[in-house]
Copies of this chain bind each other. A is one copy, B any other.
């Protein structure tokens, strides 16, 4: 059993600052009081303990208090991605079979038509309060959050993340990069992603501040780095590059009080690492996924240039091995084991095993070098990572295939200076159609970041002997064009 994070934290360090947002701040005691009041209002609105609810809101204190209220009620929180289309939202809401959707008022109109009860934040706030009994401890295997990741089949899978998963992730993180009194996480990551949510877990467990930004604002962020008002931050390659440029333009360095720039969501170009080193910026590359509740491996800043291209070693309580590899440098599927690994999926994938004897099959291909450093060679199932967002080709292919003029589709990632990768689609037509019309069709059905940057009309797709699409060969078509 794990003590209720909010009760324990607000008991242990009531007067410490929990959250900074623009000009406001809240202590852990205040955060807990807000959460308790909202939990009572949610109860009066019909939300029951231990039920599954969806949350759809942008990064601001309101969503945090709402999540904390749901923690008190031990609800399973399905965190909806703000960038999804109505169709994508409808799929997740249906698949998760939630009892309620809690929605920020401004986002009400973006919700698809659904039979599920919807509670806007203002409705909840206006509700009376109903007495509740708050659990003082939580079971480790209690599901706290559910996050959807795109699946190889094109159907996103709802990943369960338990109390124990989040605790072990936050603990491994501290064992890896330490913890100091003055710690403050600058959060520009979406809170519906594990990258953002894991900061909330760290804040409550470690008793540290979060400085929350509603969106990425490079000027203000670099102000904070230079002033040393924050100590840790998570970025993806594209945002790291913007920070480096801003520092270079100002001819400034981050304060020595700033300790760690965690960089995840895909590979970081070597050039960025060299620029960061010149600026004495401690960039720690990480490897993780929704199924591992954040980091599973991290490369220390000290090794950043010596082990370029590596994502480091497993965190203390985790284990990583390469399937069937007999010696260093042999490539194979990356297998992950540890208390941070999801117990499984929900919805239509409930029965799909997420592990084999405790080992998660990541789907990614990699190797360990002779010192035990992990290198990721190829992302799982042709996964495209664009600005830190995961895009599965199959999802885009499914949409385009549904267009009447399209016979066959193949999607692959194409290198992009800004985003790392962007999706490109290759289609074989059954009847004449402009590629612009296909793009418009994609925009209607897919989150903006998933829409192919280009659609190439081709005569046939590269396939192997058993007629399986060879997505990696698609790029060669591009060169031939």
Q: Is A401 an interface residue (CB 8 A)?
A: no
CA distance A358 to B372 in the complex (A): 40
A137 at the interface (CB under 8 A from B): yes
Selected contact of A205 from candidates B180, B181, B316, CB within 8 Å: B316
The smallest C-beta distance from A374 to any residue of chain B, in angstroms, reads 12
Say yes or no: is A353 at the interface (Cβ < 8 Å to chain B).
no
Q: How far is the CA of A364 from the CA of B466 in the complex (A)?
A: 73
Q: Which of B2, B9, B174 contacts A174 (CB 8 A)?
A: B174
Residues of the B chain whose Cβ atoms lie less than 8 Å from the Cβ of A11: 313, 372
Distance to closest chain B CB from A33 (angstroms): 16
Q: A313-B12, A316-B8, A358-B1 are in contact. Are A175 and B137 (CB under 8 A)?
A: no
- Chain B nearest Cβ from A320, distance in angstroms: 10
Report chain B residues within 8 Å CB of A314. Answer: 8, 12
Interface string of A68-112 (1 = CB under 8 A from B): 000000000000000000000000000000000000000000000
CB-CB nearest in chain B for A172: B171
Cα of A175 to Cα of B8 in the assembled complex, Å: 12
A372 (CB) vs chain B CBs: closest residue: B11
A179 within 8 A of B: yes
- Contact A205 B319, CB 8 Å, known A1-B358, A11-B313, A313-B12: no
Distance A1 CA – B314 CA, assembled complex (angstroms): 15
Contact of A206 with B by CB under 8 A:
yes
A216 to chain B, nearest CB (A): 29
Bound Cα distance A11, B328 (Å) = 14
A1-24 interface (Cβ within 8 A of B) = 1-3, 8-9, 11-12
Whether B175 pairs with A317 at a CB distance below 8 angstroms is: no
Question: In the assembled complex, how far is the CB of residue A231 from the closest CB belonging to chain B, in whole angstroms?
Answer: 12
Closest to A4 in B: B319
Of A180, A317, A318, A337, chain B has the most CB atoms within 10 Å of the CB of A317
CB within 8 Å of B: which of A176-191?
178-181
Q: Is the CB of A2 within 8 A of B317?
A: yes
Is B174 touching A175 in the complex (CB atoms < 8 A)? yes
A325 to chain B minimum Cβ distance, whole angstroms, is: 15
Q: A8-B319, A9-B316 are in contact. List 13 more A-B contacts (CB 8 A).
A: A2-B317, A3-B319, A8-B314, A11-B313, A11-B372, A12-B314, A137-B319, A174-B174, A175-B179, A178-B178, A178-B180, A179-B179, A180-B180
Residues of A within 8 A of B (CB): 1-3, 8-9, 11-12, 136-137, 171, 174-175, 178-181, 205-207, 313-314, 316-319, 337, 358, 372
Question: Could you name 25 residue pairs across A and B whose Cβ atoms are closer than 8 Å?
Answer: A1-B337, A1-B358, A3-B316, A3-B317, A8-B314, A8-B316, A8-B319, A11-B313, A11-B372, A12-B313, A12-B314, A12-B316, A136-B319, A137-B319, A171-B171, A171-B175, A174-B174, A174-B179, A175-B179, A175-B206, A175-B207, A178-B179, A178-B180, A205-B316, A207-B316
